[in-house]
Amino acid sequence: MTIATNPSVRSQSAARATASTPAPQAIEIRSFDGAVGAEVLGLDLSQPLSAEDFARIHRAHLDHHVLVFRDQRITPEQQIAFSHRFGPLQIHVLHQFQLAGYPEVLIVSNIVENGKPIGLGDAGHFWHSDLSYKDKPSLGSMLHAQELPAEGGDTLFANMHLAWDTLPTHLRDAVAGKSAEHTYLSKYAELQKRSPWRPNLSAEQIAEVKPVVHPVVRTHPETGRKALFVSEHFTTRIIGMPEDESQQLLAELFAHSVRPEHLYRHVWAEHDMVFWDNRSLMHLAAGTPDHLRRKMYRTTIEGDVPF
């Protein structure tokens, strides 16, 4: 039996269905040749994301660890909304560099206006995994290019699963069952001496970044893969080890992690949006010549307590 429907009711319900269930986009995931990363083609992040597209992006993120979305003309609200699909967002301790009206967005920039830095200019100066100094470090971060220099400004990523998979046996034995301390303040004074971007921290800010302890080798909570989880920037010592041995071991782990075969170097193009997995990778900002301007918007998604 066919039930006749008033055409205006039919078109209203079709419009409602379209608004609530976005159509899938023609996405293609193109893997890079090297150790890590893929480009996502055919996805416009300014449009609502269907459940199917979200599932494909989620899977690709777990498989490739860095996803590059080209030419995304998105607003801060849209970046926040897309980031939020993956979990709650974290607010960076340097509140000075939040985008006005959007505390979830950290401005990463070397631009100084009227004598004042507009963003954190030396973010990523040392290899690190974002917010590893928190009890719940970041799941992943999204960085959206706002203004790019004519040269420099690349971001490097190191695959910490590969770092673990290829770790020599004597280093595997040395880290078995070990934990390490992560501290936001570890290199703060050193960075403060040479840059205008590191304000003195208030007592509240210092209280927000108390040292934490995490396993040296973590298990990815979604894929079950193991990854080395120590970094040059935030890891200060291996717990229960004499200081000199701990420093020596950390230096060997850092050197191994960033071997060229573990790396992907992202050369930014206008309006790129890059989404990486902080549970699988470390990253480094390669640096921008002082006379050139670079401005990026970063959102950071909260992850799990590492195990």
Catalytic site positions: 128, 130, 283, 298
Pick 167 or 301: Cβ nearer ligand SIN: 301
Pick 74 or 274: Cβ nearer ligand SIN: 274
CA–CA separation, 28 vs 12, rounded Å? Answer: 32
- Least Å distance, CB 111 to ligand SIN, is 13
DSSP H stretches of helix in 103-195 = 160-165, 169-175, 188-194
SS (H, E, C) 196-260: CCCCCCCHHHHHHCCCEEEECEEECCCCCCEEECCCCCCEEEECCCCHHHHHHHHHHHHHHHCCH
* Residues near ligand SIN, by CB under 6 A: 108, 123-124, 130, 141, 155, 283, 285, 296, 298
- Least Å distance, CB 300 to ligand SIN, is 8
Pick 132 or 141: Cβ nearer ligand SIN: 141
Greatest extent of the chain over all pairs of C-alpha atoms, in Å: 82
- Least Å distance, CB 6 to ligand SIN, is 54
Tokens of 173: 């034995």
- Least Å distance, CB 142 to ligand SIN, is 10
Q: Provide the terminal-to-terminal Cα distance of the chain, rounded to the nearest Å.
A: 58
Pick 106 or 238: Cβ nearer ligand SIN: 106
